[in-house]
Structure 1
């Protein structure tokens, strides 16, 4: 596998159901594929047209892997950033290049819908209590209100 050393940010659709696995050491790894459609504007016709789709295999580790597995579903529109990796492959009859991203951050793309954020330690489905709504103070470091 070659490391391009590049950080990439993409938007796209989760194309496969996320799969969660654990190493023998207990490290969580979630993998899934993302389809990122490209569009281009034709000034002559004044219209947008499809310009192909890039496919990425995305891997996430540890807590982010657990959260991604619980939060993402096939078809969800996401934005993610991470390290780009290119891997040459050869199965004996075909050769190619796999494009992989080791994601550092993932979220739903809010251009296409809404989502609900639940912090670690907060019960799922819990509603914010009085004074815990997202205000400047609610994002302060612990012990600093």
Structure 2
């Protein structure tokens, strides 16, 4: 597998956008920001670098779970997934957008606490899943 997988530690830069597509697939887009910090040995201080923004794209059960998890603007998050860089044209200028096709999204527990609730997957056969 020659995929560029990344993990981003940052915060939700805006409230997520949640929709259900015409095909019935839940979809959520989350704008994530992160500000790298570097230690300056000469001054003995931490210096903030330029803030980077990217979109975390969530589908299906991940989209539903992120929507239900009270992730809103300013929430510290960790996102893992496949990196996608795309170019598009707006107002006659080419721009670059960075997306993460999210495999996982979670609260950054170094910055606070969270409660976890298991969700039940829908059974394809209509039978109850086996007990572990």
When normalised by structure 2's length, the TM-score is 0.86
Structure 2 spans left out of the alignment, 5+ residues = 121-129
When normalised by structure 1's length, the TM-score is 0.79
Query: Which of structures 1 and 2 has the bigger CA Rg?
Result: 1
The answer to whether the aligner puts 1:7 opposite 2:22 as a matched pair is no
Which shifted more, 7-16 or 17-26? Answer: 17-26
The aligned counterpart of 1:61 is 59
Q: What root-mean-square deviation, in Å, do the aligned CA atoms of Structure 1 and Structure 2 show?
A: 1.7
Structure 1 stretches of 4+ with a deviation exceeding 4 A read none
- Inter-partner Cα distance in structure 1 for 2:66 and 2:49: 29
The aligned counterpart of 2:37 is 39
Structure 1 spans left out of the alignment, 5+ residues = 122-141
User: What is the CA distance between 1:47 and its match in structure 2?
Assistant: 0.9
User: What is the CA distance between 1:7 and its match in structure 2?
Assistant: 0.3
The aligned counterpart of 1:128 is none
The answer to whether the aligner puts 1:18 opposite 2:6 as a matched pair is no
- Inter-partner Cα distance in structure 1 for 2:113 and 2:24: 33
